Amino acid sequence: MISEKTYVVCQNQIMDNARNLAVQGVIAAGKEEYRLAVEAEDVNAFTPVIAVIVDGTWSKRSYESN
């Protein structure tokens, strides 16, 4: 068995690593989208146009129309 203190230290290290990997993934995806937009010449005033879809609703309510 490990102590609670040791467990918390390990947990924090794992969470820091997971967070860093997630950030690196988002940055890499953004760079790829940028490259694809420039490659497709989808640029407005020297700024690549990248479509972003945001759905802030609960999944069971997504895409419903009233």
**Residue 16 phi, psi (nearest 5):** -60, -45
The domain of 37 spans 4-61
State how far the alpha carbon of 1 is from the alpha carbons of 5, 44, 51, in Å: 12, 59, 50
- Tell me whether residue 12 is in a domain: yes
- Tell me whether residue 51 is in a domain: yes
N- to C-terminal Cα distance for the chain?
55
Matching residue, tokens 């146009």 = 49
Q: How many structural domains are present in the chain?
A: 1
- Tell me whether residue 66 is in a domain: no
Say which DSSP state 35 is in: H
- Tell me whether residue 20 is in a domain: yes
- Tell me whether residue 56 is in a domain: yes
Whole-number pLDDT of residue 53? 76
- Tell me whether residue 10 is in a domain: yes
pTM attached to this predicted model: 0.65
pLDDT digits (tens, 9 = 90+) for 7-55: 999 999 999 999 999 999 999 999 999 999 999 988 888 889 988 777 7
